Every structure is written in C-alpha cells, then in structure tokens.
Amino acid sequence: MIGAGVSGLTCATQLAPSHDVTVLEARNRLGGRVWSYDLSGVTVDLGGSWIHGPVGNPIMSLVDQAGISYFNDGEFGDGSRMWMPGAGWAAAELSHLWHFDRLAAAAALGGDGSYKDGVDWFIKDRRFDPQTAKYFEFITNWLEGNLNQAGQPESISLAGAASYLEYEGGNLVPVGGYGAVVRYLAEVLVAAGVSTHLTERVLAIEHGGRQAVVSTTATTYRADRVVVTVPLGVLKAGTIAFDPPLPASRQAAIARMQMGTVEKVVVSFSEVFWPHKRMYYYSDDHRFPAWIDITQHLDRPSLVCFYNPVSTPAIAALSAPDRVAPAITVLTEMLGRPLPVPVAAVATDWRNDPLARGSYSYGALGSSPDDMRLCSQPVSDLLYFAGEHTIPENFGTVHGAYESGRRTAHAIN
C-alpha cells in the first residue's frame, strides 16, 4: 500500500484480514491531507474538516463503526453575510443564492463549457436583477467554484462539476477533529499486525514481471499487488517512476485532470467579537473571501479563512506564516475596528507541499468524469490505484477517498 491517507488506510484495513499488507508513507505521520493539528493546545483540521452531507454518505458507516462523536454545523449558506467595500454588510440573507443548478446549466449549454459559462447562463435564465446577479456571481464563481471546486471558474469543467453527487443533511464535524477517523483506521491496522513505514518515499515501481518491485528511499520490496493512493498532484509531477510506463491513455487522463488549490488561515482569539457565523468578503482580487466561525470545532473562539492563492498571486508568493497578517487586515476591514491580538494562528500551504502538490482534484475543462473513472481502474493484476481523484461522484472529499479505498480492496479480494 503506497500512501497512508484515508484511501490507503481504508484499503489496507479491508485487505488485512486476508492478505499480508505493508503500508508505505512518505510523511512522518498518517492521514495525508487529513491533518488534525495541535494549535496551542486545541485541535484544528488543516485539511479535511467536514463530513459533507451525512444522508447516504458512505463514510458515515465508518464514523458510526468507530463510535466517533460529531455535531452538525449546518449548511454553508445558512446565516451567511457578505461584506462589500463602501456598502458594508449585505442586508438580506444570502442562503437562497447558494443553489446553482449545475445539471440544468450543463444540459442547456451542451458540450463541455466552463463553470463560468454555466454561471453566466444561469444568471440570464433566472433573470436576476443586477445586484442579485452580482451577489450570485461572486458566491457561485468565487466561493463555490474557486474554493469548493478549488479551481479557476473559467478552467473548471461544468460537466465535471455537475457529476459531483451532493448529499443532504448539512455538514458534520467530528468532535476532536477528522483525525479521529485516521486514528481509528490506524488502530485497526495495528490490531491486524499490519506493518506501516513512515518517512519512506516511493521512488519507482516495476510491474512488468510476476511480482511488483517497489523501490523506496530506504529499501526495496516485492509484492503480489501494489495499490497506489498518492494524490493526483504527485502523479502529475511524475515523482514515482513506473516501469513499464503507465498506458498512454492513463497518462493522458492524468494530464487532463487538475489538482485544485484552496488554503486556510486559522486564527484564535480570547473572545468572540465577530457578528456572523459565516462572513464573505467581496473584492475584485478575491483575497481571503470566506470566513467561518469554528469556535465550536475548537472549543476556543476561532475563525478559519478559506482562499485560493492561485487567484491572488501576491498572496501565493508569500510564505504560509506571512499570509496571516494580510488575512487579519481583511478581517479588520470587514469589522471596521482594531482587533484583539490573536491567541494563535496557522496557515496551510498544500500547493507547495511536495507530497500533495495541491489540495484536491477537480474536473478541469477539457477533461471528463471518464478520466477519473479510467484512473480508478487497475493497470494490471499487479498495479491498482485509489484516491479521491478516482471517484467522479465524490472527488475532492474524504468520503471519496474512503469509497475509493473500499472499492479497490473489493477488486483485489
């Protein structure tokens, strides 16, 4: 098993009862892009944070099996307010503007238009007045598209976005962080006697003989089957050499697909002084646009800001710690007064992480859901693949990673 994120850990737990499993992980920790981090005494999720829609969500069976407690954080549009320079807070509740019918837009436009094309069509079809259109365009292109899809609106495939399956029931937060899922899977592996090797990066996989040969920074392994669960960004970078090379059709699909970028700044204070649970900052350069109260998550007054650094190159050029100050500047502008000194703060940089090379995958313009389906298929009886980028209905999510691990284990068993 190459990779100890949720997909790799899930696949390993499913295979362990009937196979001798070894897990190789390049990081010094388990979890991959699920990372529950100690921020001055409280746990904050720097990667996956919410279970998006519990009703019918495949990961709920694992959460319930593990006995993990959670609470419902509601829908992201509920209780939201937008701040606009010169106008202040939008007076009206904006939740009704968070419902972009991507399927209707894709059907109306035909072919494979961009997410931005679909938003433009939807605004005209619904005959929004100019002010409503302005709000909707910002919410849909620059909050849903640029953050949830993690791409640029003009580069996101509308058909790919429409293939995503949304579950109902709000957004659940595991108590103590999403790392509880990782800890449970790790405990299952330990109980099964599975050997896990950290800080061991895979360099090459030979899969043309009777057995696969996996070369790492530490040693060489032979295996009857290899499951590769590294992120799409790592596959695109070509840091693992495959011998023989992956089929041309697989390489082309990987090239067409894209790794999205969304980052976080988490700031803790000694008190809650902000007026709304979900605050959105309107600007032409899309800097630090989404602020969510996560006080209940951390049991300490805290906000998390989501932003896409690709949309704001000046911010992307800063180191992760240096992004905290300009984020605080935006928060100060929204609230219109000096802020207390933060108790603690942390910023992510998944885009420049060589073991992720982005946050999660999305359907890029020019690709299709079939590319993700192709990447889910084994190359041979020796070489299998899993990861959130192989699930077109659930890409970009922890539950997509979980489902891919289960599916691959089932194919092997």
Average pLDDT, 10 consecutive residues per value, the chain (413 residues): 98 97 98 97 97 96 96 85 85 67 91 91 93 90 94 95 92 95 97 97 97 98 98 98 98 97 97 94 93 96 97 94 97 95 97 97 94 97 98 96 98 95
Same domain, 274 and 252: no
Q: Would residue 186 count as lying in a domain? A: yes
Q: Would residue 86 count as lying in a domain? A: no
Residue 65 tokens read as 């099996």
**Cα 155 to Cα 113: distance, rounded to the nearest angstrom:** 9
Q: Collapsing DSSP states into helix, strand and coil, what is residue 101?
A: coil
Residue 149 tokens read as 């899809």
pLDDT of residue 395: 96
Same domain, 242 and 269: no
Q: Would residue 82 count as lying in a domain? A: no
**Cα 46 to Cα 385: distance, rounded to the nearest angstrom:** 25
pLDDT of residue 322: 98
Domain boundary among 136, 162, 188: 162
Place of tokens 């829908």: 75
Same domain, 337 and 365: no
Same domain, 342 and 365: no
**Cα 112 to Cα 211: distance, rounded to the nearest angstrom:** 41
Residue 265 tokens read as 């700044």
Residue 358 CA: distances (Å) to CA of 198, 310, 354, 412: 21, 11, 9, 29
Report the number of distinct structural domains present in the chain: 3
Same domain, 312 and 179: no
Same domain, 31 and 137: no
Residue 117 CA: distances (Å) to CA of 94, 154, 184, 306: 22, 7, 43, 24
**Non-local CB neighbours of 209 within 8 Å, separated by 6+ positions:** none
pLDDT of residue 79: 77
Q: Would residue 1 count as lying in a domain? A: no
Query: Which residue segment(s) compose the domain that 395 sits in?
Result: 6-73+171-259+361-412
Q: Would residue 91 count as lying in a domain? A: no
Same domain, 67 and 180: yes
Residues in the chain: 413
pLDDT of residue 407: 98
pLDDT of residue 85: 84
Is residue 244 reached through a cis peptide bond, with omega within 30 degrees of 0 on the bond before it? yes
Domain boundary among 162, 191, 211: 162
Q: Would residue 85 count as lying in a domain? A: no
Q: Maximum CA pair distance of the chain?
A: 68
pLDDT of residue 13: 98
Same domain, 188 and 62: yes
**Cα 177 to Cα 129: distance, rounded to the nearest angstrom:** 41
pLDDT of residue 32: 98
Domain boundary among 162, 193, 209: 162
**Cα 30 to Cα 197: distance, rounded to the nearest angstrom:** 10
Same domain, 62 and 186: yes
Same domain, 132 and 266: no
CATH of the domain at 64: 3.50.50.60
Q: Would residue 140 count as lying in a domain? A: yes
Q: Taking the model in full, what pTM does it have?
A: 0.95
Q: Print burial letters for 71-104: b (CB count within 10 Å at least 16), e (below 16).
A: eebebbbeebbbbbeeeeebeeebeebbebebee
Same domain, 67 and 115: no
pLDDT of residue 377: 97
**Cα 35 to Cα 45: distance, rounded to the nearest angstrom:** 6
